[in-house]
Structure 1
């Protein structure tokens, strides 16, 4: 990210924009960028819903690099790229770790990579496997989960096009640390572990990029631990649902297929059991934060959900 500082053409402080104007303002600013131009956003979250909106509206046209800088401060850089070329080398340049890597290094990596399609719900790898690849999501969306011995599931993270999977075992040589599953029909690029290590030795920019990714993963882990330790279920459910709120004020249709999420999936994301998640959803519905249909979330109100996350509304579930 540091080397792109000289290419920032536009900066937006997301706090200064009304909720209803955020997506449209960012997309309009992005559309004004030249190829290679960078839009920098200052915010207090990673804007997952905005990223999903861009994926649907401007597929293959951008590189997304979001970093948690601590103290609820996020810097997101969106670089406009040439979408007219769709070979594997160009795809890799749209993945944050490879953004500043020498083209000859990327060319060799691309020669060793394979590609594979996964159906929605298909397991890509299980926790504890020996899976000797670094994967990148080229299309679709995947989710990382953990399963306890008594059957409880914890959702860790969702990954979008351009995001990596399985970084930890690639560098420490151990087994996979989570289960990876396709949330929707997905297409992954698989790079052999040995080739990733060779490329890192050849180009320090790539090694540095993975160090940054590792640091960000540690920040996510600490945030997750803090949520599970200090936030009650109602807060955790509200925080997860914030990721699915669309542009607009009041109750608006959710994004990313939130209406397909079962209460069991929401419970897994919030680190609780289904009954507790169901009670939290009813509390949120009664407060006007969500609209439910047959127990599933159809619409969400960003402002009210945020008040629950900040513990302004009500008592713990």
Structure 2
């Protein structure tokens, strides 16, 4: 992540654009002519395979850059970014962004961010192989909470815009398995759910689930 000052300056380099819920913010296969600095809202990054399979890659929130890899490499986009909620972002033209980053000595900052995202992806793949569903589900909800309400969070935290299918993609299970997992979290008092809404009622209990040992359940 860029520092607060660098982020504010970078936001001043482009034009503000809004995106409707469920709209495509960056399309897979398009040229890297620009990137987005997300200032409000929640988005998902997915890869669409030729056979129609959609692979979830990441969730992104305010303070994240979107599409910077294709801008740096001058290649077509290898993934698609979709707004899960209404989003606001600053559109940064590729050439202007590259000049700004080089002139302000921010190349290393972006490299650190890229490495951090690689570690995040590696950790996620490990979780899919080693952790029980409810633990993965709790960790996913916690990540979304950090993205949508960083720092001082309201109580309770309300997450909107997520379908059960998208949660299933993020946790590597079926939609029915997600329904079962959410039921366990509801019974423990950690969350309440409605259509495309998750309300975190007890953050402590949710964190206990996220750190529970395999085969164990929070007391």
2:183 maps to 1:255:
no
How does the TM-score come out when normalised to structure 1?
0.56
Q: 2:70 matched to which residue of 1?
A: 169
Inter-partner Cα distance in structure 1 for 2:79 and 2:203: 30
Secondary structure of the residue aligned to 1:255 is strand
Inter-partner Cα distance in structure 1 for 2:196 and 2:88: 31
Inter-partner Cα distance in structure 2 for 1:128 and 1:141: 22
Secondary structure of the residue aligned to 1:283 is helix
Secondary structure of the residue aligned to 1:191 is strand
The runs of 4+ residues in structure 1 deviating greater than 4 Å are 245-248, 293-296, 313-316
CA apart distance, 1:298: 3.3
Q: 1:308 matched to which residue of 2?
A: 209
How does the TM-score come out when normalised to structure 2?
0.77
Specify which structure has the bigger relative contact order, considering alpha-carbon pairs within 8 angstroms and separated by 6 or more residues: 2
Deviations along 1:117-154, one digit per CA (max 9) or x if unpaired, are 21111101223322321211234333222345453442
Secondary structure of the residue aligned to 2:106 is helix
Q: In 1, are the aligned partners of 2:43 and 2:84 still within 8 Å (CA)?
A: yes
Unaligned runs of 5+ in 2: none
Between structure 1 and structure 2, the one with the greater Rg is: 1
Q: In 2, are the aligned partners of 1:254 and 1:300 still within 8 Å (CA)?
A: yes
Inter-partner Cα distance in structure 1 for 2:183 and 2:102: 53
Matches within 5 A, 1:64-83: 65=1
In structure 2, the CA distance between the partners of 1:135 and 1:297, relative to structure 1 (3 Å rule), is closer
Inter-partner Cα distance in structure 2 for 1:295 and 1:186: 17
Inter-partner Cα distance in structure 1 for 2:194 and 2:111: 44
Matches within 5 A, 1:1-317: 65=1, 93=5, 95=7, 110=13, 113-148=14-49, 149=51, 151-160=53-62, 162-203=63-104, 205-243=105-143, 244=145, 253-257=156-160, 260-293=161-194, 297-312=198-213, 314=215
RMSD (CA atoms):
3.2
Inter-partner Cα distance in structure 1 for 2:121 and 2:6: 25
Q: In 1, are the aligned partners of 2:138 and 2:209 still within 8 Å (CA)?
A: yes
